Structure 1
C-alpha cells in the first residue's frame, strides 16, 4: 500500500534545498519502491516499509540538515480528502484551502491559542477546522496574508494547498 511522506520546510525561499531526484534516490536507498515526487515542496509517495525516524536520519545524512517528515498512508490521505470542511471553497479556488498535517493531536491550549488569532479583515474572514491530526484552513486572502498558523498548536506541522492534497491522493490511488 502506498505511503505519503511530507517533508517540512524544504526548498522554501531557496533555503534547505532538497532536489527531488536526490530525495527519490534517498527513498530508494532505504529499499522503498515505486518512488515518486511531486513538485519541489517535499512530497514523496512510495511503497515499502520505513518509519519516520529512519527516513529523517537518511535525509540528514544526505543533505546535511535535519528534515522533519510526516507520514500518511493512502487510506489516511483519502480520509483527509473526504473530510474537507470547505469543499465549495476548494472547488472555487484550490489555492485558498490548505491542510496542515500534524505530528500529534494538539492540546487544548494550542487550539485556544489558535482561536485567539485575529482571522479576518474587512475584505475576508479566514476559517479553520481541526480534525485529529489535520488542520484545514480556508484563507480567502491567501495563506501568506493569513494570521492563521499551525505553529500556535505547539505540534509539528506541514501545510499543503488543496491542489497538492488532491494530486497526492491521485498518486497513492493510481487514479
Structure 2
C-alpha cells in the first residue's frame, strides 16, 4: 500500500489556520487512511492509503475545507518522492535548520530564480517540484521573495529527513 506525506499550507503558523494534530490524525483516519502519524504542529502527516495520489489530495483538501471553513492547501509526496527531495538537496553540507525545501504541486518554471527578488546571502536552486533555499543569515532576516513559491509550503531539512524516515519505515 502506498505511503504518502501530506504537507499542509498555513497551518498553525502565525496564529492562522489552527488545527490540532489530533484532529488532523482523526480526519485522516475518518478518510480511511491507515498508519497515520503527525509530526510537529505545522501540518505534516504520514499515512498509507490504497487511493491514488490525486484522490488522496482531493479528499484531504475537502475535509480540511469543511473543518476550517476555507481552503487549506495540501502538498502531497510519496515515500520515494520525499526520499528523493532529501537526496537531491543541493545544500546538504549546510545547516539543515537553515535549509528549506519549498514544496510545489508542479515543477517550478525555468525562470523561477530570475523572478526572485530581495536575494542577499541566500542560495537558491530548483528541484523537481521543489525550490531549495539555504538561508545563510537565517530566514528571519531574509528579504527574499520567490513568486513561484506563492502556492507552496516550506519545510526545513530536519523535517524533510524525519518525514522521509517515517515514510520509509511503513
Query: Do they fold alike, i.e. is TM over 0.5?
Result: yes
User: Is the 1:106–1:155 contact (alpha carbons within 8 Å) kept by the matching residues of 2?
Assistant: no
Question: Structure 2 CA distance, aligned partners of 1:37 and 1:14?
Answer: 19
In structure 1, the partner of 2:29 is 28
Does 1:167 pair with 2:162?
yes
In structure 2, the partner of 1:134 is 130
Does 1:157 pair with 2:152?
yes
- What count of residue pairs does the alignment treat as equivalent? 165
In structure 1, the partner of 2:119 is 119
1:153 Cα offset (Å): 1.1
SS in 1 for 2:115: helix
User: Is the 2:100–2:133 contact (alpha carbons within 8 Å) kept by the matching residues of 1?
Assistant: yes
Q: Following TM superposition, where does structure 1 have runs of at least 4 consecutive aligned residues deviating by more than 6 angstroms?
A: none
Question: What stretches of structure 2 of length at least 5 have no aligned partner?
Answer: none
Compared with structure 1, are the counterparts of its residues 112 and 94 closer, same or farther at alpha carbon in structure 2 (3 Å cutoff)?
same
Question: Structure 2 CA distance, aligned partners of 1:103 and 1:155?
Answer: 11
TM-score calculated relative to the size of structure 2? 0.90
Question: Structure 2 CA distance, aligned partners of 1:31 and 1:118?
Answer: 44
1:20-67 deviation per Cα after TM superposition (whole angstroms, max 9, x unaligned)? 000001101110000000000000100002421211001111222210
TM-score calculated relative to the size of structure 1? 0.88
1:147 Cα offset (Å): 2.4
| Correspondence for 1:81 among 63, 80, 86 | 86
Question: What stretches of structure 1 of length at least 5 have no aligned partner?
Answer: none
Does 1:97 pair with 2:99?
yes
